[in-house]
Amino acid sequence: MRAFIFPGQGSQAVGMGKTLSEASPAARELFQEVDDALSQHLFRMMVEGPESDLTLTENAQPAIMANAIATLRVMEREGGFSLADKGDYVAGHSLGEYSALCAARAFDLSTTARLLKLRGRAMQAAVPVGEGAMAALLGADIDKAQALAEAAAEGEVCAVANDNDPTQVVISGHRGAIERAVAMVKDHGIKRGVLLPVSAPFHCPLMQPAADAMEEALGKATVSAPLLPVYANVLAGPVADADEIKARLVEQVTGRVRWRESVAAMWGAGVTEFVELGGKVLGPMVKRIAPDATVRSVVTMDDIEGALASF
């Protein structure tokens, strides 16, 4: 069995999508569709930068999605690829869940782009700059991370945001609590704590204003039944019902990204091959979760040709 997976924030880079658009009319068309949906020259920013603008959450989120779906579009239009025929599940890390839903035709492309633009803005606006922070805990499993978060909170928010793999967990919350946690890592048997260069504390209760904004937006959005089941971050399990998809996306804004559990569950369900579209960040995590899995990253035209030949 095969799962197609989609990267999250942090995988953006100036130049993304450039070679794909130069090689493929299908990719160029997709990037133009996203620009039109957002009334913005997002693709120019993806190719030319500046990096400071591309890194802004409201730009990074739709850009990462566009790059991933452009990769899929090239495979479909120029390689005769069918996700429904070649895949069993889709999943994405945080914003990547929207890419997965778009790939599975639960959302159309324009809706996905607009939802991610709004999601990025709402997440950025939920907490004043400087009041929140996130930190990666290296050499930490979920139990150690949870214990550290509870010890460091001291009445503030300090929560596990991303359970990425058996060796990396990300915490999120008030800046003071996160800084206390980083200072306390050795006491909890954790190798290192590294503050992340993010502009807001994602996936924690401080994001409730953004969750409210997404609930309103998703309430108006058209959601179709996906072509194949989508593993929801907050469940670490598959969803296929339109109303449940919306509910889980709202929960996801404040909830934990259960990536380690999602990959383990897919492996347990019989998935032996994971194909990351538009990035190279999830593959190493998958190998740490399911060492015997086959992992493939598809970013370039050469990658696309190799993948199409292997399916």
pLDDT at site 197: 84
Q: What is the mean pLDDT of residues 79-106?
A: 97
Catalytic annotation, residues: 94, 203
> Contact 42/65 with Cβ under 8 angstroms?
no
Model pLDDT, residue 198: 84
Query: What fold is seen in the domain 132-198?
Result: Alpha-Beta Plaits (3.30.70)
pLDDT tens sequence across 209-248 = 999 999 999 999 999 999 999 999 999 999 999 999 999 9
CA neighbours within 13 Å on the CB side: how many for 262? 33
Do the beta carbons of residue 90 and residue 5 sit within 8 Å? yes
Residue of 310, 279, 278 lying closest to 294 (CA atoms): 310
pLDDT at 145: 98
Edge-to-edge strand order for the sheet containing 2-6?
Answer: 237-239, 230-232, 89-92, 2-6, 273-277, 294-298
pTM above 0.85, yes or no: yes
Examine the pLDDT at 199 and tell me if it is beyond 90.
no
Domain ranges in the chain?
2-126+206-310, 132-198
pLDDT of the residue at 129: 85
- Interval 38-47: pLDDT, tens: 999 999 999 9
Tell how strand 89-92 and strand 2-6 pair up.
parallel
Query: Does 11 score more than 90 pLDDT?
Result: no
* Residues above pLDDT 70, as percent of the chain: 100
Percent of the chain whose pLDDT exceeds 90: 95
Which DSSP symbol is given to 64? H
Tell me, what's the pLDDT at 160? 98
Note the CATH number of domain 2-126+206-310. Answer: 3.40.366.10
Rounded to 5°, angle at Cα 155 from 149 and 157: 50
